[in-house]
Amino acid sequence: MHINLLLLVSCFSFVFSDSCSNCVNSGKLWCLQNSQCGDTTLACNTSITVPLNCPSPPQYGYDDEFMRSEIMVLTTAAQNENPQLCFNNQIPTMKLYKVTTANCSTVYNDVTCVGYTAYDTKRKVISISFKGAHGQDQIKEMTDNCVKYGLESYYTVTNGMIFKCIQDSFMLIWNGGMQADLRYLKYKYPSFELWVNGHSLGSSLAWAASAWIVNIGLYKPDDMKVVVMGSMRISDYNFAAWHTQTFSYNFHILHRSDPVAHTPTFVASTNTTLFYPKTEVWYNNYMNQGDPYQVCQEADGPFCSGSVDPKATQYIDHLYYFNIDLPGWGHAGCPMNISAYAQP
């Protein structure tokens, strides 16, 4: 009885996503509101044109409490030179292994790219996290390089492409120590899961890391949890589709009007249209405990964060996640009392 029910459920979801995918794959439009397939004359409020936007729920449930109490801490800890201070205050069984700081600038002496490895024998987890951009020099150089060099494919597992500026920065951290550190931890704790996370630039580096780790066969995607916050789009359609299909535990948390979701989606230097992988989770509020959120069934378009007016974005929504000033709280070592870090 139980098995029949499962079969029935998976059958339904298969048929559902399949009719939308079949529809758009045959060059037609899928109407989200009434589940009809038609040509361009189809009267419809929201037409789906690519399979990645065909509605489908994530394979794993989204757990607000887990993101808030664990992933937020791991992500924020990258802001502190000693991430262990954050762990001591919030998740004491988590132990820092090593921080890697790479010189990822050819121009500035105040620009570094940072990532760290950590492990938790209670949770049976190894975690890697990446720090966001700090300062205008880094944002400027990164933006210039992304625009100038566009996207490339780096993988044998997909022909999908990501920004060269992101892959280059990730590789400097990876080859600058993180690879050796992660291999050591994997050797020591071979059965542990791998969590990969970051915020802002750190989230883009985390996406690059997740893909690279699978590409070189270091971890199986089913043994990984990929969770990022406030990432810009870093990839073309094929990478986004591959990343979505590959990582069954894969969430991108976006806060209200965070401008990262509203930057241009076309890169002229390599003629690439950018896409987000699934699954976006969008909080249209302060992200306080108990606040509602939307687990987005589509990847990219007028859905969830995409429903915000691009002219109405606020940079402050990029810095505050779960109603905590992420850099400020991180610098302070993630103290228990978060009220001083709440969004104004």
Closer by beta carbon to ligand NAG, 95 or else 134 = 134
Q: Give the H or E element holding residue 317.
A: helix 316-319
| DSSP conformation letters of 12-26 | HHHHHHHHHHHHHHT
Helix (H, G, I), strand (E, B) or coil at 237: helix
Among 6, 216, 340, 342, binds ligand NAG (CB under 6 A): 340
Closer by beta carbon to ligand NAG, 26 or else 106 = 106
Can residue 271 be called a binding residue for ligand NAG (CB under 6 A)? yes
Q: Which residues pair with 225 in a beta bridge?
A: 195
Query: Cis omega (within 30 of 0) on the bond before 279?
Result: yes
Can residue 105 be called a binding residue for ligand NAG (CB under 6 A)? yes
Closer by beta carbon to ligand NAG, 167 or else 279 = 167
Q: How many CB atoms lie within 10 A of CB 175?
A: 12
In 3D space, the residue among 117, 114, 137 whose CA is nearest the CA of residue 127 turns out to be 117
Q: How many CB atoms lie within 10 A of CB 25?
A: 12
State the minimum distance, in angstroms, from the CB of residue 110 to ligand NAG. 7
Among 10, 25, 33, 59, binds ligand NAG (CB under 6 A): 33
Closer by beta carbon to ligand NAG, 271 or else 289 = 271
Can residue 103 be called a binding residue for ligand NAG (CB under 6 A)? yes
In 3D space, the residue among 69, 62, 131, 91 whose CA is nearest the CA of residue 283 turns out to be 62
Can residue 41 be called a binding residue for ligand NAG (CB under 6 A)? no
- Find the distance separating the first CA and the last CA of the chain, reported in whole Å: 53
Q: Quick one: CA dihedral 58, 64, 69, 75, positive or negative?
A: positive
The token duo for 114 is 């940072």
State the minimum distance, in angstroms, from the CB of residue 163 to ligand NAG. 17
| DSSP conformation letters of 119-158 | EETTTTEEEEEEPPP-SHHHHHHHHHHHHHH-EE---SS-
Closer by beta carbon to ligand NAG, 25 or else 103 = 103
Can residue 175 be called a binding residue for ligand NAG (CB under 6 A)? no
Among 100, 112, 145, 197, binds ligand NAG (CB under 6 A): 112
Can residue 34 be called a binding residue for ligand NAG (CB under 6 A)? yes
Among 4, 109, 156, 191, binds ligand NAG (CB under 6 A): 109
Applying CB under 6 A, which part among 99-107, 240-248, 260-268, 298-306 lies near ligand NAG? 99-107
Can residue 40 be called a binding residue for ligand NAG (CB under 6 A)? no
Q: How far apart are CA 88 and CA 163, in angstroms?
A: 35
Show the binding pattern over residues 308-337: x = contacts ligand NAG (CB under 6 A), - = does not. -----------------------------x
Half-sphere exposure of 269 (CA within 13 A, CB side): 13
CA-only gyration radius of the chain, Å? 20
Can residue 138 be called a binding residue for ligand NAG (CB under 6 A)? no
Applying CB under 6 A, which part among 1-9, 90-98, 103-111, 157-165 lies near ligand NAG? 103-111
Q: How far apart are CA 79 and CA 293, in angstroms?
A: 26
Q: Total residues at the site for ligand NAG (CB under 6 A)?
A: 12
Closer by beta carbon to ligand NAG, 35 or else 121 = 35
Closer by beta carbon to ligand NAG, 141 or else 181 = 141
Give yes or no for a contact between 215 and 283, defined as CB atoms under 8 angstroms apart.
Answer: no
State the minimum distance, in angstroms, from the CB of residue 213 to ligand NAG. 26
Can residue 270 be called a binding residue for ligand NAG (CB under 6 A)? no
Closer by beta carbon to ligand NAG, 187 or else 266 = 266
Sites of contact with ligand NAG (CB under 6 A) = 33-34, 45, 103, 105-106, 109, 112, 271, 337, 339-340
